[in-house]
Structure formats: C-alpha cells, structure tokens
Amino acid sequence: MASISNPHRVAVVTGGTTGIGAAICRAFQAAGVIVAATYPDDDAHAAAFTEQTGIPTFKWSVANYQACVDGIARVEAALGPVDILVNNAGITRDSSFAKMLPEQWREVIEVDLIGCLNMAHTVFAGMRSRKWGRIVSISSINGQAGQFGQVNYAAAKAGVLGFTKALALEGARSGVTVNAVAPGYTDTEMVRAVPADVLAGITAKIPVGRLGQPAEIARSVAFLCAEEAGYITGATLSVNGGQYMA
C-alpha cells in the first residue's frame, strides 16, 4: 500500500462504521492516520465499532449542512484539522421509476450526492489554506452503467463523478486532490440483502467470478490519499472485477 507518510494526517470517513466505510477506516488506521468515522443513527453499533477498533465515532447526518459544519468542528477540536475526507455515506431506496415516490428520489440525492457537497464544502477551505488535502468520494458501478430500479441511486452516483471532476480543478493548484472510487458489487450487508437468486445472477456477470471485498475498495481509497498520489486528481478508479470498463 502506498504510504500516507505524515503521521499527523487526520481523516474523516462518512458512513465509517459499517461495510466499505469501516474497511477504509481500518486501512487508514493501519497507515498511521488519525481517523474519525461518522454515522447517522445506530449508537450501539458505533459504540461497538469504537470498542473494537479504538476509532472515535461522531454522529450526524451528511444530508444536513449545519450538522456537517458542527460535526467537523467537533472532530477538529478533538483530533486536529481535517486533511482527508472520504465521502462514503450512502443509502438506497430502490424502486422502478414508474413506482418511485418523490421522497425516495429526494432521500437518496440528499445523502448520496448533496452529502458530498455538504462535507467537502466544510473542509475544502482549510485544506487549500494548508496547501494539502485529499477528497475521495465513493461512487458506484451503477453510476457509470445505470441499473434498473435505481434511477435515484444511479443519478446520485453519476453526479458524484461530475462533482469530483469539477472540484478537482478548483483544488489542484492548492495541493488538494479530488478523486472518486466506483466499486462494483462488494460483499457488504447492503449487497447481501439482495435475494440469493438475483445475487447469483449478478455474480455470474462479473469476469473475476466473485464479489469484491471491502478491504479491496479500502486499499484503492488509501492509495488515492497517499502522499505519492499527488499527481492524480479528477480521476475515477473503477474497482469492479472487470464488470464495467469505462
């Protein structure tokens, strides 16, 4: 793994107590980064995560801008200025478009896309003033290729890619890189909730013949946040076992 060589870097991973987010937190911790995980609701799970890993957790909804401002202030008071932001928090509200309710669209857009804006806007100025920063947002194969029953999710995750490219242009000369990782189907609770027959059909279409592992996504994120990755910005790293080649 490429190194994040400054031992005083502080990272915030949204949705960091479960699935891919938890794996990213552990990867940062192993690289010597000071890391904080955010979560929206499950206090008991967050407490157990902290007990298991020693990683502090902070509760707020990324869909609420003021909550992000207040939350980052709490993180920085406890740990120091935020150098690395991973926009990992995401939800699904799947439905065919004909049956999709406006609130299903709105909830996904607010968390999965507007959440990236809220979090990045809160830390971006500080990163630029210190002339170093890393922002990585988790998109999805379904934001690249589309997926039946996920018009809301695909739109949000595709929006993340445009957000990444545009913000990368604004951060580049200040040493702030902005990239995206687009995972394919990964062995998380969200994917395991898919009916077994449907999941078997999905897996059969993945050229490497299996689901991804959260640790594989985490290694990709850690690489983009490394000191050595300073020449990579505005990029989307697809980690999908060959299922979709952009």
Cα separation, 71 vs 231, whole angstroms: 30
Residues 144 and 191: beta-carbon distance below 8 Å: no
For the record, the structure tokens of 100 come out as: 């999709």
Structural contact between residues 142 and 199, judged by C-beta atoms closer than 8 angstroms: no
Among 39, 65, 153, 244, the active-site one is 153
Closest CA to 56 of 71, 36, 76: 36
Asked about 39 being catalytic, the answer comes back as: no
- Identify the CA nearest to 117 among candidates 135, 102, 132: 135
Distance CA(34)–CA(233), nearest Å, equals: 23
Contacts of 193 (CB under 8 A, 6+ apart): none
Say how far residue 63 (Cα) sits from the centre of its chain: 14
Are 164 and 180 contacting, i.e. CB atoms less than 8 angstroms apart? Answer: yes
Q: Closest Cα partner for 90 from 63, 60, 72?
A: 63
d(Cα 111, Cα 82) in Å, to the nearest integer? Answer: 21
Note whether 110 and 63 are within 8 A (CB).
yes
Name the residues annotated as catalytic.
153
